[in-house]
Structure 1
Amino acid sequence: MKICIIAEGSYPYVTGGVSSWIQNIATQMPEHEFIIYAIAAQKKQQGKFKYDLPANVIEVKEAFLDSYLEEDSKWGKRFRLDAEQKKNVKALLGSDGTLDWTSFIRLFRSSRFDRVSDFLTSRDFFDILEELCQEKYPLVPFTEMFWTVRSMILPLFITIRDDIPEADLYHSVSTGYAGVIGVVAKEIYNKPFLLTEHGIYSREREEEIIKAEWVKGYFKDLWIQYFYRISSCAYELSDQVTTLFGRNKEIEIELGCEAEKISIIPNGVRIKDYADLPSEKPADQYYIGAIVRVVPIKDIKTMLQSFALIKRELPNAMFYVMGPYEEDLSYYEECLQLVQSLELQDVIFTGSVKIKDYIGKMDLLMLTSISEGQPLAILEGMAAGKPFVVTNVGSCKELLEGMNDEIGAAGFVVPVMHYEQLAQAAIALCKNEKLRIEMGRNAYERVKKHYRQDDVIENYRRLYGRMGGEKNGRNRVRA
């Protein structure tokens, strides 16, 4: 079977998390061929892969959301959209009413447009936006609204018109633009579409926009509604949906996904890979680590603030941030500046490293994210028998405390951004070797019982087999 995995902002440009999950799926299913449809923010990322691709990955199709910058357009055309087409465009921009995604996709893949940017400089779009502003945004300057909306939706329109490789099954690992591509592929080739959500894409974009300085206050709601709307495309038109844990499923249902097509397949790790790891370190030092990308959603700054408090109590503590920092260099620089302003010693940003060379030496691990799905970083640490201090996001509480499995706690769970509580929990673990050993043992037992990678691969192997022969009976659209 030929399977097209569609990934946005992850594989093969970024390591860890979803990217590791994709690499494992492809590597451990040599009986299938895989095409990777990789969506990245900027064209400068082209070809900069962080993984050695398995032999059964036969193609990587790269798409860049900033490619709209290369498009010219002609002003003032008239495309004479009908009432349904106008309603769909307005619905995308936050107007009341439903959006018929099939009709919308067919319109913007049609030969009516030489370039999709022509529509956004057309009289039709100008009239639609003017009408929407009168209805919903009467106090917002029209010129600002026009250029904001244009930059917001151009990447979506270009994504819809992109060439998509033909496959037997399309598997998107998020909603958003990747989910839209899955739907477009389903419509073009009449093939099944599987959606997997690790984290809830629209919730994560909402959290980022709320904090973003580049979005003016009165446009934040517009951007947030837009991401929820494009996520609804995949929820509505996917054939099957998988997610990692029960709360994710509940949120997907709240956001409009049919409960009947959602199943839960947890993450997993190869436990034997974490046996007999190097563990030598100075006996008089405490090693605290974090397996994490240095990006805002992981909230490294809260982690550093907590370590400042830990360092006051335990001067011989060391802190290792183990993961890449190139993805957001400005945020990385902010973290370095915070280290300086806090006058912190013994903080090491390792960059991309072989995690197994480090985690065996750690006394405990931390994760302070403001949003998560079911973090592979936690499962890796648990497989190595390490206790955790984590924020209460995604399935972190479920991983550490279990679901009535009669295995004890594997660490401490604290509220998001509460660096004092993070520090207190870490200090308690450092000072109590017996507790560290007990929680580390619980971590290992829980992973061994519930989160084995062999089970993940077998579950997806069966799901691919069931879906690969299905026909959805839809009419084809222009390829």
Structure 2
Amino acid sequence: MIPEELPMDTQATRKRICLICEGSYPYVAGGVSTWIQMLIEQFPDHDFIIWSIATNRKEMSQYKYTLPPNLLDIRTVYLEDHPFKPGPGKLRLTRDEQQALKALILDETDDVAWQSILDLIQHHRQRLVDVLMGEAFFSLAVEQYQNDYSRTVFNDYLWNLRSMYFPLLKVLADDIPVADLYHAASTGYAGLIGSIAAHVTGKPLLITEHGIYTREREEEIIKAEWVIGDFKKLWIHFFYKLARIAYLKADRVIALFEHNRNLQIELGCPPDKTQVIPNGVDFSLFSALPEPARNRDMIRVGAVVRIVPIKDIKTMLLAFDHAQKQVPQLELVICGPVDEDPDYARECQQLLAELGTEQVSFAGRIQVRDHIAGFDLMLLTSISEGQPLAVMEGMAAGVAQIATHVGACQELLQGAGDDDLGEAGLVVPVMDVERIAQAIIDLAHHPARRRQMGQAGQKRIQRFYQKPDFLRQYEDLYMNWLAEAVPSQGD
């Protein structure tokens, strides 16, 4: 990683913030991307750079957002750009390079000798595949295999290890965008390159976790078919280590709610670095939305979600089908992009066809504020969440909610601490078709209760989750850490 240099004409006037994200802005529409767009738009006196980590160019090349004028550049690292194809001739590492590689793979401490590793990567920047296909890496793999994984097939173990470290080496080989402050939207690869940028430049690093990245990866790995047996432990350990590295290097680590802050501490983040800053929504906008024209004979259930597995649309369809058989006037409108995971979207459409439920429509990506006031209730069936903006916007619009017991959903719908405003919706177990269906039926039969929940939700958003409060806290955070930042090269 080589740091660039800030142009002289921008050094004295405006501060530059590098937002680091993985699998989101500007290529994927969703909560994290919306949060990033909001930050950039609301701080026009700062310049921003996006350092985006994406899977591949085919799936992530089209921008899903209108880029604000103070967004100067988007730098994207594509993890799957190069196949495992060695270059010409054998690559031999020096003794120092072998030690650096050993420290990266085998060292169990989180205090990594980054300079040695960066020197190795920089020296062999065009031959990273050869580093992983070479004798030194093979010997290290044998050593770890004999110590911890000897019950498995060695070749399977070796290729898991190569698949694990190639993306890591690839992101570490990218040039560091010059900035006065680095702000990662997760741990994982984003937190890792943020840590390296802070190490190399001496600039501050902030991390905001919308969910807990390591827990989300752990859930995915446990369920994944591409990782078998003991190798699940290998991958989970890898992501836990990345998180600890980021937590230790960061100057400030932000969670969206108290439970996640406690999880960050449990995973190795020093408590004095942690802070809670809830998301905020534009209450004045959503609380005054006019209701769109619609058939009032129907009870409209709205879902504002991306059509991806983590949102568990299949459980939503099964639960709605069950509920609609009991309450025929129910209809479900699913609003959200279908192009992020086309295979999963097709599976959902196929399931819907098999169920034969006619009162379900996929509206695609929409302008939420044009539709949300027309919902009688809203439904979220995710298996993992942070603090979902769609739920908060629905609450601000006075719409009763049904949400699974994930992330901050219980806190949003039922309150926390001294919050006595009442319930804004029902919290249901993850993947529990019958309980979710029953919640839909219960609220469908009780319009007065829906109205009461909608009013409680509006009051909670007005008191605790307003956009100006959210922005003020980030403004204070940026001002404090920009004041702490060492001068850029050439200042």
| Aligned-partner SS, 1:5 | strand
Q: CA deviation at 1:462?
A: 1.1
What is the rounded CA distance, in whole Å, between the counterparts of 2:207 and 2:375 in structure 1? 36
What residue is the counterpart of 2:388 in the other structure?
375
Q: CA deviation at 1:217?
A: 2.8
What is the rounded CA distance, in whole Å, between the counterparts of 2:388 and 2:450 in structure 1? 21
8 Å CA contact 1:76, 1:121 repeated in 2:
no
2:295 to 282, 307, 314: 282
What is the rounded CA distance, in whole Å, between the counterparts of 1:268 and 1:42 in structure 2? 32
Change (3 A) 1:89 1:75: farther
8 Å CA contact 2:214, 2:243 repeated in 1:
yes
Q: CA deviation at 1:297?
A: 0.8
What residue is the counterpart of 2:420 in the other structure?
406
8 Å CA contact 1:81, 1:124 repeated in 2:
no
What residue is the counterpart of 1:130 in the other structure?
142
2:408 to 386, 395, 409: 395
8 Å CA contact 1:68, 1:155 repeated in 2:
no
In the alignment, structure 1 residue 121 sits paired with structure 2 residue 133: yes
8 Å CA contact 2:312, 2:382 repeated in 1:
yes
2:76 to 43, 57, 62: 62
What is the rounded CA distance, in whole Å, between the counterparts of 2:485 and 2:37 in structure 1? 28
8 Å CA contact 1:80, 1:124 repeated in 2:
no
What residue is the counterpart of 1:345 in the other structure?
358
Task: Specify the code of the residue in structure 1 equivalent to 2:437.
Answer: A
User: Deviations 1:425-477 (Å, cap 9, x if unpaired)?
Assistant: 1111111111000000000000010001111111111111110122479xx9x
Structure 2 residues not aligned, in runs of 5+:
1-14
1:306 to 319, 344, 349: 319
Change (3 A) 1:89 1:43: same
1:11 to 16, 25, 33: 25
User: Deviations 1:90-132 (Å, cap 9, x if unpaired)?
Assistant: 337xxx5545153464344442554222211221111000111
TM-score (norm 2): 0.92
Change (3 A) 1:342 1:46: closer
| Aligned-partner SS, 2:176 | coil
State the identity as a percent: 43
For residues 33-432 of structure 1, the aligned pairs below 5 Å read 33-45=47-59, 47-69=61-83, 72-74=86-88, 76-82=90-96, 85-91=100-106, 96-98=108-110, 100=112, 102-103=114-115, 105-111=117-123, 114-274=126-286, 275-403=288-416, 404-432=418-446
8 Å CA contact 1:108, 1:157 repeated in 2:
no
8 Å CA contact 1:197, 1:244 repeated in 2:
yes
Q: CA deviation at 1:140?
A: 1.8
Task: Specify the code of the residue in structure 1 equivalent to 2:452.
Answer: E
Q: CA deviation at 1:162?
A: 0.3
8 Å CA contact 1:75, 1:122 repeated in 2:
no
| Aligned-partner SS, 2:74 | strand
What is the rounded CA distance, in whole Å, between the counterparts of 1:33 and 1:147 in structure 2? 41
User: Deviations 1:341-392 (Å, cap 9, x if unpaired)?
Assistant: 2222211111111112211111100111111111111111111101111111
| Aligned-partner SS, 1:429 | helix
What is the rounded CA distance, in whole Å, between the counterparts of 1:340 and 1:331 in structure 2? 14
8 Å CA contact 2:149, 2:230 repeated in 1:
no
Task: Specify the code of the residue in structure 2 equivalent to 1:152.
Answer: M
Deviates more, 1:169-178 or 1:353-362: 353-362
TM-score (norm 1): 0.94
User: Deviations 1:40-76 (Å, cap 9, x if unpaired)?
Assistant: 1112245410000111101111111112328643564
Q: CA deviation at 1:85?
A: 2.9
Q: CA deviation at 1:248?
A: 0.6
| Aligned-partner SS, 2:361 | strand
What is the rounded CA distance, in whole Å, between the counterparts of 2:138 and 2:53 in structure 1? 29
Task: Specify the code of the residue in structure 1 equivalent to 2:22.
Answer: E
Aligned length: 472
Task: Specify the code of the residue in structure 1 equivalent to 2:152.
Answer: V
